[in-house]
Amino acid sequence: MDKTVSLKKNYEFMRLYKKGKFFVGKYLVLYVKRNNTKNNRLGITVNKKVGKAVRRNRIKRLIKECYRHYEVSMKDGCDLVFVARSSELMPGYLEINREMKFLLKKMDVFMQDVKND
């Protein structure tokens, strides 16, 4: 993730929750807000209702990897927060990847059209 910085502070997350646009999918919720920098900033949150630490960390790793895949074709200057939704089934890489692509297209974050995977 060469041009992406992590969101770490609580007020950064809260600003996105209150002032950002959001869209809901089956496994993820994406919050987006433009920032005044040339870098994208990424935050990932997983609630304790999703499961124990092993499951939460697995979902975070999947989201990070899927984001890394799409990072090169994204516009600069966006704050993004992915929130994992609780579900009975553990989503795999393909489900997360498909949903992330759908959400990013919906929020108009891509520079150009992304090929189907």
Q: What is the DSSP letter of 50?
A: G
- pLDDT tens digits, 18-61: 999 999 999 999 999 999 888 999 999 999 999 999 999 999 99
CA distance 14 to 20: 9
Give me the CATH topology for the region 4-106: Ribosomal Protein S5; domain 2 (3.30.230)
CA distance 110 to 114: 8
CA distance 7 to 28: 17
Q: Is the pLDDT of residue 1 over 60?
A: no
- pLDDT tens digits, 53-101: 999 999 999 999 999 999 988 888 899 999 999 888 889 999 999 999 9
Parse the chain into domains and list their residue ranges.
Answer: 4-106
Give residue 115's pLDDT. 63
